[in-house]
Structure 1
Amino acid sequence: MPSSSSSEKESDNQIEHAGQPPMNADEELLHKLGYKQDLSRSISGFSNFAIAFSCCSVLSGLTPLWGDSMNNAGSMGVIWGWVITGVMTTLVACSLAEICSAYPTTGGLYFWVSRLATSDYVPLACWVTGWYNWIGLCFGITSIDLGLAQFIASIINVWRPDVNTSVYMQYGLYVGILLIHGIINSVAVSWTGVMNQGAFFANMLGLLIIVIAGLAVTYPLASGEFVFTQFYNGSGFSNNGYAFLLVILQSQYTLSGYDSAAHMSEETKNSQKGSPYGILNAVISNAISGLVFLIAVSFMVKNFDQQITSDSAISPQIVQVFLDGVGQAWTMVFLVFVMISIFFSGSALTLGSSRMVYAFARDGAMPFSSYLHSLNPNTKSPVYAVWFNVVVAGIVGVLYMINSTAYSAIVSVNTIGSQMSYFVPILLRITVSRKTFIPGPWHLGMFSTLIGTISCAWILFTCALFICPTVWPVTPDNMNYAIVPFAFIMILSTGYFLIWGRKWFKGPVRVVDGQEVIVGEDEEIIRNDDYWNSEKREIQGN
């Protein structure tokens, strides 16, 4: 295993290869993993962290669902649910960071699977993992941008209560936000990295202002007994334990999407350290800041019945808490920071998702792969992949206008997809590749199997939970429909693989000196570019 010091030293030196331009350590590693340096490697480890941080930022994830969670389990349930989820997600992030340190590629999770699975199961395992990952990221864009549209509508309601901010108006706002995110992520990645660094500092400033000003201005504050000991079951279920578990949806939804750090690996300097640290630090920093935020907001609740459970309260309910506690002026300040956080979270998810689609299309596993695996010659960004995700997210958002509980279902699908894409590589790491895995500079050592086992158990538990009902009694209007779109997409994609895809998709394809070989078969040239393209077209045509 290479030492950290040798890795850092190597990253500063240029490595000469006969007949080829000089490559630095990052490009050399990428070459060994089978890919050329096509993307612009121009962002720092901090920018990588900032992108992952924005994807799972507290203000963007907690604020839209906070009121529902308070109604399900009260302040005590929300706080302890966050603590438990934060600890368990940190363990999952540790397992992912270890694998990322060994294989820092834009393909991320599905590429890792190609190195961890047995050769017979590599194609199917990569295909399924990639589609899990894409579903999680795409539905994440939808949920985040819809959340921003809801907050814009709530601001309109604060200043103009006479305006009808219907779901149709909110969908129109949502489409506008998607278009802006598409434009932002079509520019050079170096600019995107700077924007996400700014978003990180804006997020932390917003958290400080909400916590400090909120506690200082709100009077009277709630009691410590209310904040730390009150449990309220407004879910309709008679079992308080199940009601408590419902708050995990809010917490796990917030702490997901941090795998975007892995998808930015091929654009990150010193990627074997920068990307795993981006994953881990994004989760830990958000877990700690989220706990502070939740405690502070609970102290700001002045009347639980009127602000949380009443049908007349402004939605999202946290806006009502701000309005009653600090007044219109401070509420506007708070919401500006919340909206900035949500906006850049959606932008970061669009960025990470576009890189995942670009990498997946590089191996022919996406519709329109020849277009999606292309870079703009000026910005070196996968512009087609960006707009593909924007269009799909716009279509998914239509569900919000059809059913009143669609937002919760979209949140659930986002979380299930992300969690399942984490599950496959971790499971393979601790079972199939337990003795053969060669770690990178960042690793868990003797604790890898233990932490991986706990992580897999947690992921399966949360995925099962997120397809369960969230309200009782269950009716056609409030039923959790998350399993429907998730199963529909996975059945279509897996069916396509079994009927056609298995004939040509063999997993990630290494590009070595103008030729392509299947990952894991380095000694044998399988096909060159021209032959592979014509053979693939012939199979698909049949």
Structure 2
Amino acid sequence: MSSRQAKQVSMTGMQEIGSPSSKELDDANLARMGKRPVLKRNFGLMSMLGFSCTILITWEGIVVLFLQAYQNGGPAGAIYGYLFVWAGVASTFVVLSELASMAPTSGGQYHWCSMLAPRSTMKLFSYITGWLTVIGWQATYATSCYLCGTLIQGLIVLTNSSYEPKNWHATLIFWAVALFSITINSVGGKLLPRFEGFILILHILGFFAILIPLTYMADHGSAKEVFTEFLNLGGFPSQGLSFFVGMVGCIFAFAGGDAAVHMSEEILNASTAVPTSIMLSVLINGSLGFGMLLAMLFCLGDIEEALGSATGYPFMSIFLQATGSVAGTAVMCSIITTMGITTSVGMLASASRQFWSFARDRGIPGWRIWSQVHGTTAVPIYSVLLTTVVVCLLALINIGSAVAFNDLVAMSISGLYLSYMIVAGLLLYRRCTGGISNARSSDHGLVNVPGSICAWGPFHLPGIAGIAVNTFALIYMTIAVFFSFWPPSWAVTVQTMNFSVVGTFGVIMLSLIYYAVRARHVYNGPIVEIH
């Protein structure tokens, strides 16, 4: 073996155990995109897999959001809708993984948009995509904290029938969850990766802790009822329309697929570890979610009693009917509630990193403050604090109107999916026109930034297969965004109206006003900090 070969083997071995060579390689790849490494790479593949899986928490989401799919679609609609969403999410995640492999930065969508869009439209497209991602992540984090608050209220009602839940109670619990999240995020170091690794274990063990007693103790429905019965309790003109409206619950159960992307500058071997964690998370969560959905549908019990549950969550009544024990039901529901609380930690991390990165490139008002990183913890603490303050202020809306808050957090689907659609459309155009080089990105200087060449990363689905998956992802995302704006029933009232379209495009309009007044003078897409 030559000395050169020996050196290569040595470096490869060092990288596999997460040595400084891995970090140096990641920092070199980041430098090729014009960025200075300022965050510490504390995540490895397993901790990032835990991070991705516990952001999605699909099986927990299916349980909590069970009512939406059941009312519009019924048992059969819920199953077939889930399978369609799972396939659509998988294709979407393939596209995101390809892009993350090309340019693993915390900016994610707006950076990818800038490197793929034509020069004439790059600046505005990138800016809008950045704000759509901000909207989506702020709303997703707010949703997580809000659901935790109402879940805890439901648990109190379950164990203490004299308790009368108030909206302001949920807001106070919301703030407590946000405080817990900011505490974990502010410490820095190895705490967050280790925390996410531990939660992955709870995520998997909790699945069996609920599935086994539920399926063993409950009375089971027939396969014919589960796989052939469709419902249209929303009163829509057709069963097909009802099916697509009910599918939104399944879509939200997979929300946050780009979480690992925004942690790219804090993980070793980012160009391969991020795509791997994203794709494994959709496989693991999709499988667990489908198993739990089948269990719920076969073990419904008295569905009318479940729909009228005083807890506000039908799944709590379904668990109670199955076990016949308030204590046992409380334990099962506590697992789901705990997972919701811990998920908020990761959501705050992703939301704040995306916000920090966008501020770093001057897309946010007050960007000089929000782009700062504290040297001792290597955490963008000001962005973490601002994200927390924003969602805590949003929680005040719930005191006046829970309906208005529900409409607000519905923007998590529309914001994130619109940002996915923009970059997926640009990627499809580029790959069909041969606008992406097959050469390794390490063979060039600056790469995958505005004005430089675009080159595929290690994760890439080539040829017709890549085009087909990319096209299907766009079709699925169009359907998801369109029906995310629909109300849950055909007869619309103030209480059932979905105002998320107003919120989403309202924030876009405000961002465009800021762009016209100020941002167009300071925002030019991702800044090249290293030439």
TM-score (norm 2): 0.90
Alignment match, 2:187: 187
Deviations along 1:388-416, whole A, 9 cap, x unmatched? 11111122223333334335423421001
- Return the alpha-carbon distance in structure 2 between the equivalents of residues 240 and 29 of structure 1: 51
Deviations along 1:471-493, whole A, 9 cap, x unmatched? 13111221111112111111000
Deviations along 1:246-289, whole A, 9 cap, x unmatched? 22111111112121111111111111100111222112211111
2:74 is equivalent to residue 74 of structure 1 = yes
Alignment match, 2:5: none
Deviations along 1:11-65, whole A, 9 cap, x unmatched? 9469xxxxxx997211110111111111001210121221121111124422332
Question: 1:249 and 1:138, CA in 2 relative to 1: closer, same or farther beyond 3 A?
Answer: same
Letter of the structure 2 residue corresponding to residue 207 of structure 1: F
Q: Could you tell me how far 1:344 is from its partner in structure 2?
A: 1.7
Query: In the alignment, is the contact (CA less than 8 A) between 1:117 and 1:433 conserved in 2?
Result: no
Q: Could you tell me how far 1:102 is from its partner in structure 2?
A: 0.9
Deviations along 1:63-83, whole A, 9 cap, x unmatched? 332123212222111121111
2:334 is equivalent to residue 336 of structure 1 = yes
SS of the residue corresponding to residue 529 of structure 2 reads strand
Deviations along 1:111-157, whole A, 9 cap, x unmatched? 11121112222211111111111111110011111111111001110
Question: 1:389 and 1:23, CA in 2 relative to 1: closer, same or farther beyond 3 A?
Answer: closer
Question: 1:264 and 1:168, CA in 2 relative to 1: closer, same or farther beyond 3 A?
Answer: same
SS of the residue corresponding to residue 479 of structure 1 reads coil
Query: In the alignment, is the contact (CA less than 8 A) between 1:253 and 1:411 conserved in 2?
Result: no
SS of the residue corresponding to residue 301 of structure 1 reads coil
- Return the alpha-carbon distance in structure 1 between the equivalents of residues 521 and 56 of structure 2: 38
Letter of the structure 1 residue corresponding to residue 258 of structure 2: D
Alignment match, 1:479: 497
Letter of the structure 2 residue corresponding to residue 445 of structure 1: P
Deviations along 1:357-399, whole A, 9 cap, x unmatched? 1111111111221121112222111111111111111222233
Letter of the structure 2 residue corresponding to residue 482 of structure 1: S
2:101 is equivalent to residue 101 of structure 1 = yes
Letter of the structure 1 residue corresponding to residue 75 of structure 2: S
- Structure 2: gaps (5+ residues): 1-7, 437-454
Letter of the structure 2 residue corresponding to residue 282 of structure 1: S
Query: In the alignment, is the contact (CA less than 8 A) between 1:95 and 1:426 conserved in 2?
Result: yes
Alignment match, 1:535: none
Query: In the alignment, is the contact (CA less than 8 A) between 1:187 and 1:379 conserved in 2?
Result: yes
Alignment match, 1:534: none
- Return the alpha-carbon distance in structure 1 between the equivalents of residues 113 and 189 of structure 2: 26
Q: 2:401 aligns with which of 380, 394, 403?
A: 403
Alignment match, 1:168: 168
Letter of the structure 2 residue corresponding to residue 155 of structure 1: L
- Return the alpha-carbon distance in structure 1 between the equivalents of residues 73 and 468 of structure 2: 31
Q: How does 1:123-522 map to 2 (within 5 A)?
A: 123-218=123-218, 220-308=219-307, 310=308, 312-326=309-323, 327-432=325-430, 434=432, 435-437=434-436, 438-446=455-463, 447-512=465-530
Query: In the alignment, is the contact (CA less than 8 A) between 2:56 and 2:253 conserved in 1?
Result: yes
Deviations along 1:155-186, whole A, 9 cap, x unmatched? 11011111111112111111111111111111
Deviations along 1:213-242, whole A, 9 cap, x unmatched? 111122x22222222222222112232111
Question: 1:400 and 1:349, CA in 2 relative to 1: closer, same or farther beyond 3 A?
Answer: same
- Return the alpha-carbon distance in structure 2 between the equivalents of residues 394 and 249 of structure 1: 25
Deviations along 1:420-458, whole A, 9 cap, x unmatched? 111111111111464122211110011222211221122
Letter of the structure 1 residue corresponding to residue 193 of structure 2: G
- Return the alpha-carbon distance in structure 2 between the equivalents of residues 103 and 8 of structure 1: 26
Query: In the alignment, is the contact (CA less than 8 A) between 1:235 and 1:243 conserved in 2?
Result: yes
Query: In the alignment, is the contact (CA less than 8 A) between 1:59 and 1:203 conserved in 2?
Result: no
Query: In the alignment, is the contact (CA less than 8 A) between 1:306 and 1:313 conserved in 2?
Result: no
- Return the alpha-carbon distance in structure 1 between the equivalents of residues 262 and 171 of structure 2: 29
Q: Which region of structure 1 is more displaced relative to structure 2, 360-369 or 150-159?
A: 360-369
Deviations along 1:326-382, whole A, 9 cap, x unmatched? 121221221121012111211111111111111111111112211211122221111
Alignment match, 1:84: 84
Question: 1:23 and 1:463, CA in 2 relative to 1: closer, same or farther beyond 3 A?
Answer: closer
Letter of the structure 2 residue corresponding to residue 82 of structure 1: Y
Query: In the alignment, is the contact (CA less than 8 A) between 1:43 and 1:189 conserved in 2?
Result: no
Alignment match, 2:4: none
Letter of the structure 1 residue corresponding to residue 165 of structure 2: T
Question: 1:193 and 1:7, CA in 2 relative to 1: closer, same or farther beyond 3 A?
Answer: farther
SS of the residue corresponding to residue 500 of structure 1 reads helix
- Return the alpha-carbon distance in structure 1 between the equivalents of residues 23 and 335 of structure 2: 42
Query: In the alignment, is the contact (CA less than 8 A) between 2:485 and 2:498 conserved in 1?
Result: yes
Query: In the alignment, is the contact (CA less than 8 A) between 1:143 and 1:411 conserved in 2?
Result: yes
- Structure 1: gaps (5+ residues): 1-5, 15-20, 513-521, 523-542
Query: In the alignment, is the contact (CA less than 8 A) between 2:59 and 2:290 conserved in 1?
Result: no
- Return the alpha-carbon distance in structure 1 between the equivalents of residues 78 and 10 of structure 2: 42
Question: 1:8 and 1:315, CA in 2 relative to 1: closer, same or farther beyond 3 A?
Answer: farther
SS of the residue corresponding to residue 528 of structure 2 reads strand
- Return the alpha-carbon distance in structure 1 between the equivalents of residues 273 and 232 of structure 2: 43
Letter of the structure 1 residue corresponding to residue 473 of structure 2: S
Letter of the structure 2 residue corresponding to residue 226 of structure 1: E
Letter of the structure 2 residue corresponding to residue 465 of structure 1: F
Letter of the structure 2 residue corresponding to residue 358 of structure 1: W
Q: Could you tell me how far 1:8 is from its partner in structure 2?
A: 11
- Return the alpha-carbon distance in structure 1 between the equivalents of residues 462 and 134 of structure 2: 30
